[in-house]
Structure 1
């Protein structure tokens, strides 16, 4: 039989297709990835699952955290927690649907899709908008030191900067529409409250590992 992946023997190939064949077809219609791209992403998912033992069927939450910490080099645990909660309600596992949702956003060049996801991550604490209290809590991690007065002043200055930049109607709340408008004009501000997306080099590595040719970074 044709090998899907050279590191998998015939038995592993058969198990993979049996377990994920119908899902692969589903993801080909529900995502922007083509068949080979879906296949590549699901092979990586399958290898995570295989690591958990012969009877395992899902990627673990621990593996998801390791993916962010080691491959993506995103170490803000509160951000990782919120990303996870935005793609699944399962407290123990990451199912294939959640896996594909994650990379549908991470590998997308659609600013609207990425900004909506980022805003959802920032507001996942229960509110649908960013008020001053939420922003104050978010900026605490950006400033640390022994001089409490200086640190508090820096935090306060950043909060004021954020609201001056994003609170367009000056009502004390940063709505999604305000955030999206700013990001549309200044895309680097999409992650203004902490890194959510892997950088371009790490995304290129993911694209190479999963054979997603359209996402390879060009250096020309």
Structure 2
């Protein structure tokens, strides 16, 4: 698709052309990164979505805010665990800014929509290991599981259920039997059983939500 062809009918064609030309160097940089699983046209479409979100924010907002991104995760990707949001933001971008950069926006969507299992394993572990210790101890596991279970049952029931789950998960994932789950333990277990990737809480879009989002910028393919 050429720069003269309009990607978004709701934008003035000249405005869109100026935006894409301005972001040309960034688009080239993103395409050079092997971990970004989008074509040039797809990146352009996603950056235009970003631009429209930025314009919809408060006056003179210089980027998409984390609150706006939180709404995207909740409404578009069915990621509704509020207790997990701060961990997700930290895993995607450990900086203190209240904004989500264009680079982080594209990288996050590439991971969510087209990421390999190994990429998602690294990301999920980083979400759960919010202290960046390199392992998940029992206290960390308890806090993660209890938070995700509170909404499904009472506080006391969630605590007991979390303790029971810790025993089950530790037996399955703690390969070296040192009482904690290292990244290598986590990776080896999930590579064999991908269904337990999000054992400690949802940090990725549902498959249906991801497919629906993909079709907004690749309507003829919808490839995940």
Normalising by structure 2, we get a TM-score of 0.87
Does the alignment pair 1:100 with 2:106? yes
Work out the CA distance in 1 between the residues paired with 2:62 and 2:145: 38
Kept after mapping to 1: 8 A contact 2:113/2:210:
yes
Kept after mapping to 1: 8 A contact 2:136/2:180:
yes
Mapping for residues 43-192 of structure 1, pairs under 5 Å: 43-52=48-57, 55-88=60-93, 89-144=95-150, 145-146=153-154, 148=156, 150-192=157-199
Q: Structure 1 residues 176 and 200, CA, compared in 2 at 3 Å: closer, same or farther?
A: same
Aligned alpha-carbon RMSD (Å) = 2.1
Work out the CA distance in 2 between the residues paired with 1:174 and 1:161: 13
Gaps of 5+ in 1: none
Deviations 1:159-199, CA, capped at 9 Å, x for gaps: 10111111111101101111111111111100000011111
Work out the CA distance in 1 between the residues paired with 2:125 and 2:186: 8
Mapping for residues 3-14 of structure 1, pairs under 5 Å: 3-14=6-17
CA apart distance, 1:47: 1.1
Kept after mapping to 2: 8 A contact 1:45/1:59:
yes
Kept after mapping to 1: 8 A contact 2:92/2:108:
yes
Q: Structure 1 residues 143 and 62, CA, compared in 2 at 3 Å: closer, same or farther?
A: closer
Question: Which residue of structure 1 aligns with residue 41 of structure 2?
Answer: 36
Q: Structure 1 residues 182 and 215, CA, compared in 2 at 3 Å: closer, same or farther?
A: farther
Normalising by structure 1, we get a TM-score of 0.89
Kept after mapping to 2: 8 A contact 1:72/1:198:
yes
CA apart distance, 1:131: 0.7
Kept after mapping to 2: 8 A contact 1:107/1:215:
no
In the comparison of the two structures, how many residue pairs are matched? 216
Gaps of 5+ in 2: none
